[in-house]
Amino acid sequence: MTDGAHLTTVDTVHDAGSWLFTVRDAYGELDEVILVPCDDRVEGWINRCTHEAQRLDVGRGAAMRDGEIICPRHGSTFDSCAGDCDNGDAAGTRLVPIETTVEDGDVYLSDSSVTFANEGGIDEATTSPADDVDDEDDLPSSTSHIGF
């Protein structure tokens, strides 16, 4: 059995397209992580584009297409398995990995540099359900070179 926190299942990540959770680093700072499908497994990445620190998942799931994570701001795409970007403003960079382990279809946090804080984003740990109002102002502006 894995020592890390149980996160979710591989099936859940594959069915949803991505899964967002929050971790705390050694200094107590919170950061968001996305789990994304990668072949028959999942990969974990810090929820931040390498170009301008834009969140890849703003709480509605990461935009994915053909095995790539799409930055909602500039349209750079990152390989979901390797984290590498070969196009757009983030070309030549790589997402920051977070180690996970899969055991019997369950996904566990196994990265010793962080601890599990909560499912969902950072805001979900600090707001109450009454504060959860759908506000279109929190959507990223887009100057993407990729159309949907």
- For 24, the 3-state DSSP assignment is strand
Do 90 and 71 contact (CB within 8 A), yes or no?
yes
Q: In what order do the strands lie in the sheet with 100-103?
A: 6-9, 106-109, 100-103
pLDDT at position 138, please?
53
Residue with tokens 């059995």: 1
- Examine the pLDDT at 62 and tell me if it is beyond 70: yes
- For 5, the 3-state DSSP assignment is coil
- Examine the pLDDT at 139 and tell me if it is beyond 90: no
pLDDT at position 3, please?
77
- Examine the pLDDT at 131 and tell me if it is beyond 80: no
pLDDT at position 132, please?
42
Q: Mean pLDDT, the chain, as a whole number? A: 87
- Examine the pLDDT at 117 and tell me if it is beyond 50: yes
- Examine the pLDDT at 124 and tell me if it is beyond 60: yes
